[in-house]
Amino acid sequence: MSTPFYVSPQQAMADRAEYARKGIARGRSLVVLQYADGIVFVGENPSRALHKFSEIYDRIGFAAAGKYNEYENLRIGGVRYADLRGYTYDRDDVTARGLANVYAQTLGTIFSSAGEKPYEVELVVAEVGGTPDGDQIYRLPHDGSIVDEHGSVAVGGNAEQISSYLDQRHRDGMSLAEALKLAVQALSRDTNGTQREIPAERLEVAVLDRTRPQSRKFKRIVGGQLGRLLETDGASTEAESAEEPDESDEAEKK
């Protein structure tokens, strides 16, 4: 009878972490930044149907990098959790911190389970507050840990290089156009530092806008509105675009 092959628990967990990190790194990067009136999500995504960013609840948005079917399952679970909690208790009881805790438990359980492979996903859960000080951004790596972020965060692909670029240039109080341009500049930098062009039609952009009169603050930025924000940096253009009807709105819940 042969002796079973032994792998130490430390080595097994390290191998699982390396497997998940490589899977996440194969996906395109995305960034989440605070700006004066809320939080903006920006990513390179040629698909118009498979979204990286979604609304979870009134003031809460979801972003994910990695394997689509895995993070889509997590997104659907988050919507169900938020709807059930808001219906059972109160809408104000649905928070990004509570949702991040639920995701952390799910990812941590899967990561430590020997019966299935770890999820190849990295999540960002963001909630816009009444003021910039009330904004919350949580990053959840593949192992279920929670990182409380401020200002900007990047996940997927070459996230470390993009995060370093954003840390040096992001500032509080940026306009939406300024934050969007900074995000695109960060995403368009290759690993060797050269700049490439990302056309507007390959960008997926969404915001949690605290100035919206509706209780639901999530909105996608598409079409002409996205083009104008990328082309100009004037406050007048943003004011005009804010008054336009939404070109895309979420109907993922309710």
Task: Give per-residue pLDDT as tens, 131-157.
Answer: 999 999 999 999 999 999 999 999 998
Q: Is the dihedral of CA 212, 213, 216, 222 positive or negative?
A: negative
**pLDDT tens-digit profile of 172-191?**
999 999 999 999 999 998 76
CB 102 within 8 A of CB 137: no
Query: Is residue 247 scored above 70 in pLDDT?
Result: no
Comparing 115 with 235, the larger pLDDT belongs to 115
* Residue found under tokens 């390290």: 14
Q: Tell me, what's the pLDDT at 234?
A: 46
Domain over 27-243 is classified CATH 3.60.20.10 = yes
Mean pLDDT of 227-250: 56
Identity at 10, one-letter amino acid code: Q
Query: Is residue 251 scored above 60 in pLDDT?
Result: no
CB 124 within 8 A of CB 103: no
Q: Tell me, what's the pLDDT at 48?
A: 86
Q: Is the dihedral of CA 124, 111, 191, 46 positive or negative?
A: negative
- Kindly state the tokens that stand for 254: 């309710």
CB 158 within 8 A of CB 164: no
Q: Please tell me the pTM assigned to this model.
A: 0.87
Q: What distances in angstroms separate CA 254 from CA 2, 64, 82, 126, one per listed residue?
A: 58, 22, 11, 20
**Residue 246 — very low, low, confident or very high, per pLDDT cuts 50/70/90?**
low
1-10, 230-239, 240-249: which has the minimum mean pLDDT?
240-249
Query: Is residue 245 scored above 90 in pLDDT?
Result: no
- Kindly state the tokens that stand for 181: 């341009």
Rg (CA), the chain: 19
**pLDDT tens-digit profile of 28-86?**
899 999 999 999 999 999 888 899 999 999 999 999 999 999 999 999 999 999 999 99
Q: Tell me, what's the pLDDT at 254?
A: 42
52-56, 120-124, 154-158, 192-196: which has the minimum mean pLDDT?
192-196
CB 51 within 8 A of CB 65: no
Q: Tell me, what's the pLDDT at 190?
A: 73
Comparing 243 with 91, the larger pLDDT belongs to 91
